[in-house]
């Protein structure tokens, strides 16, 4: 099972090895989708955790017990193929690399598994070919 989470770390936890301990303690795999850390201030991390449902539940409880705010990333961006004009305005702006150009067909490709639902592509799309599903 996998879960995409948004973690908000208070300043006291920014320099602690929380994710590596989480992986060891609860037998999880992780994939960091986006990270922003300001030393001695705060940390925000969007990551995907993979493991058993029980281990994921226990890991989230553990994080909350440490003082980490945990939010489920339940938003999802979808591409409406019929509306896309393949202008590529969104390609260089995607921080997760979920949007690319097929060099053979010169069409825009969207990989929803890489998407972190930041919404940047939605804002820049001139034809409104991207929507946010909640």
Containing domain of residue 66, as a range? 2-72
Last residue of a domain, one of 52, 72, 92: 72
pLDDT of the residue at 75: 74
**How many domains is the chain built from?**
2
pLDDT surpasses 90 at 44: no
What are the E-state strand segments in 18-133?
29-38, 42-50, 69-72, 76-79, 99-102, 107-110, 130-133
pLDDT of the residue at 134: 64
pLDDT of the residue at 35: 84
Which tens digits make up the pLDDT trace of 55-86? 999 999 999 999 999 988 767 899 999 999 99
Token representation of residue 73: 């990333």
Q: Are residues 7 and 68 in the same domain?
A: yes
pTM score:
0.62
Q: What is the mean pLDDT of residues 28-50?
A: 85
Q: Are residues 58 and 95 in the same domain?
A: no
Give the integer Cα–Cα distance in Å for 30 and 110.
22
Which tens digits make up the pLDDT trace of 87-124? 999 999 998 899 999 999 999 999 988 888 888 899 99
């Amino acid at each position: 099972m996998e879960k995409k989470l948004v973690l908000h770390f208070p300043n006291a936890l920014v320099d602690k090895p929380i994710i590596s301990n989480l992986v060891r303690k609860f037998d999880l795999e992780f994939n960091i989708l986006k990270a922003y850390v300001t030393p001695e201030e705060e940390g925000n991390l969007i990551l995907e955790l993979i493991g058993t449902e029980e281990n994921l539940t226990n890991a989230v409880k553990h994080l909350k017990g440490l003082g980490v705010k945990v939010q489920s990333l339940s938003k999802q961006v979808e591409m409406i193929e019929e509306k896309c004009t393949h202008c590529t305005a969104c390609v260089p702006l995607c921080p997760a690399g979920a949007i690319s150009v097929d060099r053979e067909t010169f069409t825009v490709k969207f990989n929803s598994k890489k998407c972190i639902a930041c919404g940047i592509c939605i804002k820049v799309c001139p034809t409104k070919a991207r929507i946010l599903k909640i």
